[in-house]
């Protein structure tokens, strides 16, 4: 049982999650708004222009899929949206806050409270157990350790890892590590969940379970999810698809 305030129920068919791609949203509900976002990596001589003026609007209450060929800038874009990277040019507003206006400490606090991020390489802390890794966002948000660990164990049970709470990342398979990373990203019920290939190491059943969990916990009024994926199993869960190519959005950037 998931120990969150959100009720989690099994849903029989992925089709039950779908909402019309053409749903009208009021202009005030954007969870994410990017204007003219450009990102350049490297110094003179070895410059890479990873993003070339991206305009993107992500709606609250929706699960947005970000797709495109390897190297087109997907990870760079979601890292900027999550406040993990600064854009070279352009503006990014998340949940009504301009990220550029948040100073270092305020940005860290904003991220900890509002954003969950599932990294492609999971990024679990090797010295912490699965339960301790999962509890990190709660502890950062001021929860007492024992209470945070108890909730983390419940969260791990929800992703089928109740027997792995005390295992360290090196003792877990890739799929198990990925499920810990998803549990960690969801445990504080973030208003914005950003996932980079969250099902890449999961079998069919685990993939279905985590997508149902993501849909039920994170796709709520006032919350939004962005998922970078190549996984066709994930497509059934998407409300909108944004396509990228060569640092630009080529379809779906604005509803």
Give the one residue of 5, 12, 13, 70 binding ligand ADP; rule: CB under 6 A: 70
Label the pairing between strands 30-41 and 63-67: unpaired
From the CB of residue 157, how many other CB atoms can be counted at a distance below 10 Å? 17
Q: How far is the CB of 216 from ligand ADP (least distance, A)?
A: 27
**Whole-number Å distance between alpha carbons of 173 and 152:** 19
From the CB of residue 102, how many other CB atoms can be counted at a distance below 10 Å? 16
Residue placing its CB nearer to ligand ADP in the complex, 112 or 249: 249
**Whole-number Å distance between alpha carbons of 191 and 115:** 6
Q: Which stretch binds ligand ADP (CB under 6 A): 9-17, 72-80, 96-104, 122-130?
A: 72-80
Residue placing its CB nearer to ligand ADP in the complex, 50 or 155: 50
The structure tokens 């360290």 sit at: 168
80 binds ligand ADP (CB under 6 A): no
Q: How far is the CB of 68 from ligand ADP (least distance, A)?
A: 6
Give the one residue of 32, 34, 72, 181 binding ligand ADP; rule: CB under 6 A: 72
232 binds ligand ADP (CB under 6 A): no
172 binds ligand ADP (CB under 6 A): no
**What size, in residues, is the chain?**
255
Residues 6+ apart with CB under 8 A from 13: none
Chain positions contacting ligand ADP, by CB under 6 A: 41-42, 48, 50, 68, 70-76
């Amino acid at each position: 049982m998931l120990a969150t305030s959100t009720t989690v129920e099994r849903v029989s068919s992925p089709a039950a999650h779908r909402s019309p791609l053409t749903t009208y949203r009021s202009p005030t509900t954007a969870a994410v708004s990017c204007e003219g976002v450009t990102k350049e990596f490297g110094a003179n001589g070895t410059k890479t222009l990873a993003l070339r003026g991206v305009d993107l609007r992500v709606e609250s209450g929706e699960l947005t899929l970000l797709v495109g060929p390897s190297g087109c800038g997907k990870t760079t874009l979601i890292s900027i949206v999550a406040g993990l990277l600064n854009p070279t040019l352009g503006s990014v507003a998340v949940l009504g806050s301009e990220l550029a206006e948040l100073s270092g400490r305020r940005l860290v606090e904003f991220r900890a409270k509002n954003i969950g991020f599932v990294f492609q390489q999971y990024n679990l802390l090797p010295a912490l157990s699965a339960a301790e890794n999962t509890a990190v966002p709660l502890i950062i948000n001021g929860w007492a350790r024992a209470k945070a660990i108890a909730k983390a164990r419940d969260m791990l049970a929800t992703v089928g890892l109740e027997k792995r709470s005390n295992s360290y990342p090196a003792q877990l398979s890739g799929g198990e590590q990925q499920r810990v990373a998803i549990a960690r990203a969801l445990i504080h019920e973030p208003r914005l969940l950003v996932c980079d290939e969250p099902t890449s190491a999961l079998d069919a059943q685990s993939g279905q379970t985590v997508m149902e969990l993501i849909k039920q916990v994170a796709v709520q009024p006032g919350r939004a999810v962005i998922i970078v994926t190549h996984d066709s199993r994930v497509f059934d869960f998407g409300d909108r698809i944004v396509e990228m190519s060569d640092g630009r959005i080529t379809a779906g950037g604005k509803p």
